[in-house]
Amino acid sequence: MSITKLSPDWASQMGPNHCPKILLSGTADCYRALNLYNCRKYDEVLHQCERIMKEPDLRSELKKLAFANVLVIPPLDSFFDRDVQSLLGFHTLFYYLFPLNDDLGKLESIAELAFEQWFAKVVYHGKKQIGNIIQDVYSIKCQYVLGRHFLARYLKMQCCIDSNLPYKEALTEFSVNKTNLPFEHMIRRFLLRKLRT
């Protein structure tokens, strides 16, 4: 069964004993909004996004928990639209084809690997899945996460575009807010360029 076939409340139904970090941060609301977006229930998505934006942003110490953010790794990437899935694919392909992978994979283990070194050692040479990133340090993990407020602004704009509603206000809100995480920056630049053409 595909993860997107699960109930929109799947994370909440798992209960605090099984998934305390998701419930702690309210990230379940984000996955619910993503699922509603995939079901094209745009009014409900917009309502969910307003709820997310009303919640305070995470404290800095909580942001470092993998499940305190929205993960963009398999199988959770199936919640996202094709644009985000394509960006994830290109990002992974770029690092997989990186010409220095052979050299980077031979480096001795150091305490704080750069993302390129981690990818070369773990994914390219170690043949591990990207999903293994959850177990790594924050500097590696943050490559594949989105903040809740970023996701809410992104979904709000996408809903307006898909529903043929005026999206100038949502685009302005999306474009003026600072991105904090690498994948947020990638999505933001891609989308702004796509809308300009």
Break the chain into its structural domains and give their ranges.
3-196
The Cα 193–Cα 190 span in angstroms is 5
Of 160, 153, 157, 19, the residue nearest 76 (C-alpha): 19
pTM metric for this prediction: 0.75
Distance CA 55, CA 65 (A): 18
Give 118-131 pLDDT, tens digit per residue. Answer: 666 766 666 777 66
Q: Centre a 10 Å sphere on the Cβ of residue 127 and count the other Cβ atoms it contains.
A: 7
Could you report the per-residue pLDDT of 61-107, keeping only the tens digit for each? 545 555 567 888 888 889 999 999 999 888 777 777 776 656 655 65
The per-residue pLDDT for 151 is 95
